[in-house]
Chains A and B, each alone.
Chain A
Amino acid sequence: MNDPVRQTSGERSYLDVVRVGKAFKDTKVLSDLDFRVGQGELVSLLGPSGCGKTTLLRLIAGLTPADSGDVVLDGRSITAIPAHKRNISVVFQSYALFPHLSVAENVAFGLRARGMAKGATGPKVTEALALVRMSDFADRPVSALSGGQQQRVAVARALIVDPVLLLLDEPFSALDRKLRETMQVELKSLLRDRQMTAIFVTHDQEEAMAVSDRIAVMNAGIIEQFASPAELYARPATPFVMDFIGLSLRLRGQVSSTAADQSRVETAYGEVVVPKLFPLGTKLVLGVRPELVTPTKRENTLSVQIADTMVLGSKTQLHGLSEAPDRLICELPGIRDEYRRGQDVQFGWDVANTLVYEAAA
């Protein structure tokens, strides 16, 4: 966890982005960023808008030049190679289908660009359209397609050229929620079957967790943590990752006393113990995942007044009265409608489940 960015899942990295930097008119978008992906991995770049994730994607595709650093693919530097010679396909947020071409002509584009005669593309196009279940639409103009169909065509067009890497920029954001979930499952199994190495860019943490083996959480031009969805959720490396991935109970506090390998922390809602030793007076940010909080006395217990209860079907959330950026939250499985607004309860959790970070100065 000391150097979360440099981990790779495979024995060797396939894509290796080395210390790339990029600035637009004095505004630094990427700062000496390292990023490694193994062959056949599905990876997401996740972060808020403006964090540099799309710039990193465009830089790997060769659509934006880097100011510094190197992009290495399969052991070969591609930094100086123009986009059309990289064989890296991109699926854009808007899909960028060619409006003057039919579905089949769109899918055939990459083959024709590689010099294949118009008449010879047929079999591969048929195969690619079948792969995304769009065979019946071959002769339609792309403007006659729905969002989901357009996305399928964009994927077929990107895969037909057997790219060495597939990049997808917010590929699901134009779809409604139901369709999005279906397409995520569909696309993931399609890419798995073809052992495609793919990088998704997204600002949606649920989407990133659904489609990727590993997620690189980006903020302000750097990767804060690059790990599996489970690791990110259970052990976020920074308060930013903790806040960006999932919900959490979140408190600010100051170390008031220490004992063995624990520190006692004074917060606005009472004293809690954290599982790490800090010098006296250190300012901390604490977090607990809400399903690890119960409305009962535990090793750490706070008295809380319920400000809101949310019955969400499979789970019920209790929100305690607190002042931002502090947040008091407890999540219980199933429907629990015995809790009322204004009621006094106790939120309890175990010391070992407490995430703790030094507050930024």
Chain B
Amino acid sequence: MSARAERIGLLAVPGLSFLAVIYALPLFLLLLKSFQIDGQFSVAEYITFFGDDFNMAVLWRTLRVACLTTLLALVIAYPTAIIMARAKGIWLSIFLIAMVLPMSVGVVVKAFAWSILFRTRGVLNDTLISLGITDAPIRMLFTETALIIGAANVFLPFMVLPIYAVLRQMDQRLPEAAASLGATPVFRFTNVTLPLSLPGVVAGCAFTFSLAISMYVIPSLIVGERQQTLSMLTARSFLFLRNEALGATISSILLIIAISVVLGSSWLASRLGARQ
């Protein structure tokens, strides 16, 4: 590394040390705690955790909800990103504001707003009953489906923006070149636009999945204690059960999942990038 590059590297010091003290150190201590019982190294906590049916059910639910949330967000986000990448002027501003503005409304506010919509005597059920589509109100709040819909809604911008950014950068001549070579709109999409947008899709999925796997407020407000997720279980362990070892263990499992997602997605992104 040249002397100049070394000096520029110094600019990273404040950020890195902030992360080291505030982020890496406490997480490392937490990880240590999960392997310790009475000062001795032990994996007993992990064995206990994975041996418990309830814990496993929570783990699977957490993974399932995170996967489905990511999938739903992707399905909604991709067409939105395409439209945004083509939008100009005032329309682009409207889309960007529509993406960013909801992030400034707290999740708590949104969750209570949904409960007005989804609850047993809520707007949606009243409408369905008055239209005669259903006789009795459908249970919507406190279900996994409501959780996935809610989470996908909150995390949507984190899926849309990376895909939008990649599509926006794409040379608009590429689909035109494909058309002039005889490619139908479908062939153009599957062979040009889609493969070139994959780095954005990977980034968006990594963001959304990481957020969805560790979300706490949204499931607490939408499904409550009835269907816990790993984050809720962690909080319960620390706050109510006073079982720090269990809390540390679950946190570590979450951490490992998050790290795998980040490493996996950056590997995938660099592989996709290398081809370009």
Give residues in A with beta carbon < 8 Å to B: 61-63, 82-90, 92, 94, 96, 98-100, 109-110, 112-114, 141, 143, 157-158, 161, 167
Contact of B180 among A89, A98, A112 (CB under 8 A): A89
Closest approach, in angstroms, between the C-beta of A150 and any C-beta of chain B? 12
With beta carbons under 8 angstroms apart, the residue of A87, A94, A110 that contacts B173 is A94
Which residue of chain B is the closest to A85 with respect to CB atoms? B182
Contact of B171 (CB < 8 Å), options: A62, A96, A113, A167: A96
Give B246-276 as 1s and 0s: 1 = Cβ < 8 Å from A's Cβ atoms: 0000000000000000000000000010011
With A84-B183, A94-B171 given, is the CB distance from A109 to B178 under 8 Å?
yes
* One of B171, B183, B185, B276 near A109 (C-beta < 8 A): B183
B181 and A110 form a contact (CB under 8 A) = yes
Whether B181 and A89, one on each chain, are in contact in the complex, defined by CB atoms closer than 8 angstroms, is yes
Give every chain A residue within 8 A of B272 (Cβ-Cβ). 100
A349 to B195, CA, bound (A): 64
**Bound-complex Cα distance A167 to B272 (A):** 32
Q: How far is the CA of A87 from the CA of B181 in the complex (A)?
A: 7
Q: Is the interface of A mostly helix, strand, loop or mixed?
A: mixed
**Contact indicator B174/A98 (Cβ below 8 Å):** yes
Q: How far is the CA of A99 from the CA of B276 in the complex (A)?
A: 5
Does A63 contact B275, Cβ atoms closer than 8 Å?
Answer: no
Nearest 6 A/B pairs, CB to CB:
A110-B181, A96-B173, A113-B183, A96-B177, A83-B179, A90-B180
List the A residue with the shortest CB-CB distance to B195.
A100
Residue from A63, A99, A161 in contact with B181 in the complex, judged by beta carbons closer than 8 Å: A161
Known: A63-B180, A84-B179, A92-B176. 7 other contacts (CB 8 A): A61-B180, A62-B180, A84-B182, A96-B174, A100-B195, A100-B272, A113-B191
A50 to chain B, nearest CB (A): 19
Interface pair B182/A113, CB less than 8 Å apart: yes
B contact residues around A158 at 8 Å (CB): 180-181
Q: Do residues A84 and B196 form an inter-chain contact, with CB atoms below 8 A?
A: no
A141 touches B180 (CB 8 A): no
Most chain A beta-carbon neighbours within 10 Å: one of B177, B179, B196: B177
Binary contact track B190-204/A, C-beta < 8 Å → 1, others 0: 011001100000000
Give Cα distance in the complex from A99 to B174, angstroms.
9
A100 touches B276 (CB 8 A): yes
What are 8 A-B interface contacts by the 8 Å CB criterion? A63-B176, A83-B176, A84-B181, A89-B180, A99-B276, A109-B181, A113-B183, A167-B180
- Name the CB-closest residue of B to A166: B180
Q: Report the bound CA distance from A82 to B175 in whole Å.
A: 13
Give the docked Cα–Cα distance between A112 and B182 (Å): 9
B176 contacts A110, CB within 8 Å? no
B182, B185, B187, B192: the one contacting A98 at CB < 8 Å is B192
B183: A residues at CB distance < 8 A? 84, 109-110, 113
In the bound complex, residues from chain B placing their C-beta under 8 Å from that of A87 are: 182
* Chain B residues whose C-beta falls within 8 Å of the C-beta of A167 in the assembled complex: 180
Please determine whether B182 and A90 come into contact, CB atoms closer than 8 angstroms. no
Tell me whether A92 and B177 are in contact (CB under 8 A): yes
- Nearest Cβ distance between residue A82 and chain B, in whole angstroms? 8
In the complex formed, the residue of B with least CB distance to A157 is B181
CB of B40 within 8 Å of the partner chain: no
**A113 lies within 8 A of B181 (CB):** yes
Closest approach, in angstroms, between the C-beta of B222 and any C-beta of chain A? 40
Complex CA–CA separation, A90 to B174 (angstroms): 11
Most chain A CB atoms below 10 A, which of B196, B272, B276: B276
User: Which residues 49-91 in B have Cβ within 8 Å of A in the complex?
Assistant: none
State the CA gap A86–B182 with chains docked (Å): 8
Q: Chain B nearest CB: distance from A81 CB in Å? A: 12
Q: Which of A83, A84, A89 has the most CB of B within 10 A?
A: A84
Task: Give Cα A85 to B185, complex, Å.
Answer: 11
Q: Smallest Cβ distance from A111 to chain B, in angstroms?
A: 9
Q: Which of B171, B176, B182, B195 has most A Cβ within 10 Å?
A: B182
A358 to B275, CA, bound (A): 60
Partner among A63, A92, A99 whose Cβ is within 8 Å of the Cβ of B196:
A99
A63 touches B276 (CB 8 A): no
Q: Which residues of A contact B276 (CB under 8 A)?
A: 99-100, 141, 143
Task: Kindly provide the distance from the CB of A174 to the nearest chain B CB, expressed in whole angstroms.
Answer: 13
Q: B185: which A residues are within 8 A, CB to CB?
A: 84
Which residues of the partner chain A approach B179 to less than 8 Å between Cβ atoms?
62-63, 82-84
Please give, as numbers and ranges, the residues of chain A lying within 8 Å of B177 by CB-CB distance: 90, 92, 96, 98
Give the complex CA separation of A141 and B173 in angstroms: 19
Contacts of B178 in A (CB 8 A): 84, 98, 109, 113
Closest residue of chain B to A90 (Cβ to Cβ) is: B180
A196 to chain B, nearest CB (A): 15
Chain B minimum-CB-distance residue to A167: B180
A290 to B145, CA, bound (A): 82
Distance in angstroms from A100 CB to nearest chain B CB is: 5
Chain B residue at smallest Cβ distance from A93: B173
Is the CB–CB distance between A96 and B176 below 8 Å?
yes
* Shortest Cβ distance from B184 into A: residue: A84
- Of chain A, the residue at the smallest CB distance from B172 is A96
The answer, among A63, A99, A114, for a CB contact under 8 Å with B182, is A114
Which residues B147-190 have CB closer than 8 A to chain A?
171, 173-174, 176-185, 187-188
A61 to B175, CA, bound (A): 13
A143 to B274, CA, bound (A): 10
